Structure 1
Amino acid sequence: MTQFDGDQPPPFEIAEPAIWRSPIIFNSPHSGSVYPEQFLAASRIDLASLRRSEDSFMDELIGGLADAGFPVVRVNFPRCYVDVNREPYELDPRMFTGRLPSFANTRSMRVAGGLGTIPRVVGDGQEIYRERLSVDDALGRIELLYKPYHRALRRLIHKAHQTFGTAIIMDCHSMPSAGISHDEPRRPDIVIGDRYDTSCAPLLPNIIEDVMSGLGYSVARNKPYAGGFITEHYGNPASGLHAVQLELNRAVYMNERRRERGPRFRQVATDFTTLADALAAIPLGDLGTFRSAAE
């Protein structure tokens, strides 16, 4: 497997302010665009096709929030190489030579769709690999990339929880402006995912909807995206841990065909700052279960 060396950015980066303004962590797990050469050589499709699965520029849209007192996490490796928004071992046995470990989840809906921890397909179902991969390759990617990322994210969540008594993860993604099915209605500008009212206090999606609607965005909840592994796994409101997934329509801020920033790019970044300010103003006790940092 290709390592991320001194000539490349690290697998992921955390911009952590010296002083946290609030317990809100902004995360961009799918904007990575550093493609290992061995991966490209093993792919049956070209780089442009692989890149269609990226949440292009989402890391840039939220990157300035670190200067405003919010920690920001960005992943640099592509989701089609390792997807950190999955369980650690959602693996499709059809992809590999050799036997997967007994603890691998081979029957999830995401695996069935080709979108496990090591994805089999991108975009509209294009197969990525020419040949089967070795099980050791898959397990190596998980050990070297997936697990260190989640350890770092848990560290931030723990720090927020210890300092403020609560933690909020804003898991930021982007979605294609149109779905694969022609029957799907026009997608809204933003989809808020809270796993159908289970991953966070209701106040958070309510405020997000109010703020973004007030800024002129059309907003929907949980359809077509209710939140992935990160939202489900780290969201536990009863313990003061809140996770919300935000899906931003790519047509709002970029040219999807040319993969270029659009004319509204800077304004959208400013609007994310407005949203962060509004969330930071929430009295923490209003989020429900709250443990004082001094306890």
Structure 2
Amino acid sequence: MIGGEGVRSDYWDQPAFETIRPRRLVAPVVFNSPHSGRVYPERFLAMTRLDHLSIRQSEDAFVDELFARAPHLGAPLLRAHFPRAYLDVNREPWELDPTMFAEPLSDRFNTTSPRVAAGLGTLARVVAENKPIYRDRLSLDDARMRIEGIYHPYHAALQKLLSESVTSFGLAVLIDCHSMPRIGKHGERATPDIVLGDRYGTTCAGPLVDLVETVFTAAGLRVARNRPYAGGFCTRTYGRPPHGVHALQIEISRHLYMNEATLEKHEGFETIKTLIERLIHTLIGLDLASLAGAAPLAQRAAE
């Protein structure tokens, strides 16, 4: 994969992402893990001022492993191998911070979004705790290599999976799989373990969100909706219930399955993985007829 002018892809010798397909597609559910990549190119590591543990703080570590059973149960899984600190496909394609580049950015780039201001554009400026990633400024060719060579093919692969589901079943359900740092202080009763994002009821049928929430609450977990995570670029771009495509973002608190400081799995990992398998079973067994006729919450509220 070559992108940009004269900058060879950092993943020229290995896949930047992969689609894991089931032997037989049994349901219209597509699982997407865009932030769990942990293959750090040597060239990228040479560009960063951070140590290997610090650069990994933006990862949705092991989320792809939590959802790894999906293809075995009949639903595809798209997962990134590139890390989020390198490229974020849950952003607009050209959401770039002008302070990161040696050349000036033209008006065709989105340089003023809140995400760019926070240092978390398509190419992030910082990782967690606002730590700067790069030693020096980047070239625009580097951005083109990542966006044209990896970002666009990634979204083409995701769109293909959703289109195949619509063709086969008449609808598609995108589950965008993420993790989050623990919200609030340890022991706070209101701290959510899971956050479900459907862009305030606009990207997914209400009964489907209710179903997912029930799976988690039945396991004793605290579930919040849309606060503080309502769903990113993938959720709002692909979630079009009137056109038969539903999208729901799931954020799992990392403290449930790993040590957030060392990024090592702990004894809770297998428990959460088993729970996610139960969720996958539930989603694959959902009633397509009822979902096809269900309106999003926002639409129902307006009626």
TM-score, with structure 1 as normaliser = 0.92
Structure 2: give runs of 5+ residues left out of the alignment: 1-6, 295-303
* Aligned equivalents of 2:219, 2:40: Cα separation in 1: 36
Q: Tell me the alpha carbon deviations over residues 98-139 of structure 1, each in whole angstroms, 9 at most, x when there is no partner.
A: 132432111111111110001111101111111111111111
Q: Tell me the alpha carbon deviations over residues 215-248 of structure 1, each in whole angstroms, 9 at most, x when there is no partner.
A: 1211111111111000010001110110000000
For 1:5-44, what aligned pairs fall within 5 Å after superposition? Answer: 5-6=12-13, 8=14, 10-44=15-49
The residue type equivalent to 1:35 in the other structure is: Y
Between the aligned residues of both structures, percent identity stands at 49
Q: Does 1:63 align with 2:68?
A: yes
Q: Does 1:95 align with 2:130?
A: no
* Aligned equivalents of 1:106, 1:152: Cα separation in 2: 26
The residue type equivalent to 1:66 in the other structure is: P
Structure 1: give runs of 5+ residues left out of the alignment: 291-295
The Cα RMSD (Å) is 1.8
* Aligned equivalents of 2:238, 2:276: Cα separation in 1: 22
* Aligned equivalents of 1:118, 1:3: Cα separation in 2: 14
Contact 2:183 2:192 (8 Å CA) reproduced: no
The residue type equivalent to 2:142 in the other structure is: D
Question: Counterpart of 2:117?
Answer: 112
Contact 2:165 2:172 (8 Å CA) reproduced: yes
Q: Does 1:228 align with 2:235?
A: no
- How far residue 189 of structure 1 moved from its aligned partner, in angstroms, is 1.1
The residue type equivalent to 2:76 in the other structure is: P
* Aligned equivalents of 1:118, 1:235: Cα separation in 2: 24
Q: Tell me the alpha carbon deviations over residues 252-283 of structure 1, each in whole angstroms, 9 at most, x when there is no partner.
A: 01111221111121121111111112122222
Number of corresponding residues:
286
Q: Does 1:211 align with 2:215?
A: yes
Contact 1:25 1:169 (8 Å CA) reproduced: yes
Q: Does 1:195 align with 2:202?
A: no
* Aligned equivalents of 2:286, 2:153: Cα separation in 1: 31
* Aligned equivalents of 2:85, 2:283: Cα separation in 1: 31
* Aligned equivalents of 1:185, 1:97: Cα separation in 2: 47
* Aligned equivalents of 2:123, 2:271: Cα separation in 1: 35
- How far residue 3 of structure 1 moved from its aligned partner, in angstroms, is 2.4
Q: Does 1:132 align with 2:154?
A: no
Contact 1:160 1:167 (8 Å CA) reproduced: yes
Per the alignment, do residues 102 and 289 of structure 1 end up closer, same or farther by CA in structure 2, a change over 3 Å counting?
farther
* Aligned equivalents of 1:168, 1:74: Cα separation in 2: 16
Question: Counterpart of 2:146?
Answer: 141
Contact 1:188 1:219 (8 Å CA) reproduced: yes
Which residue, out of 1, 10, 15, partners 1:3? Answer: 10
Contact 1:11 1:76 (8 Å CA) reproduced: yes
* Aligned equivalents of 1:101, 1:289: Cα separation in 2: 45
When structure 1 is superposed on structure 2, of 39-48 and 161-170 the one drifting more is 39-48
Question: Counterpart of 2:128?
Answer: 123
Contact 2:96 2:110 (8 Å CA) reproduced: yes
- How far residue 186 of structure 1 moved from its aligned partner, in angstroms, is 5.9
TM-score, with structure 2 as normaliser = 0.90
* Aligned equivalents of 1:28, 1:149: Cα separation in 2: 11
Question: Counterpart of 1:246?
Answer: 250
* Aligned equivalents of 1:216, 1:66: Cα separation in 2: 27
Question: Counterpart of 1:279?
Answer: 283
* Aligned equivalents of 2:191, 2:57: Cα separation in 1: 17
Question: Counterpart of 1:293?
Answer: none
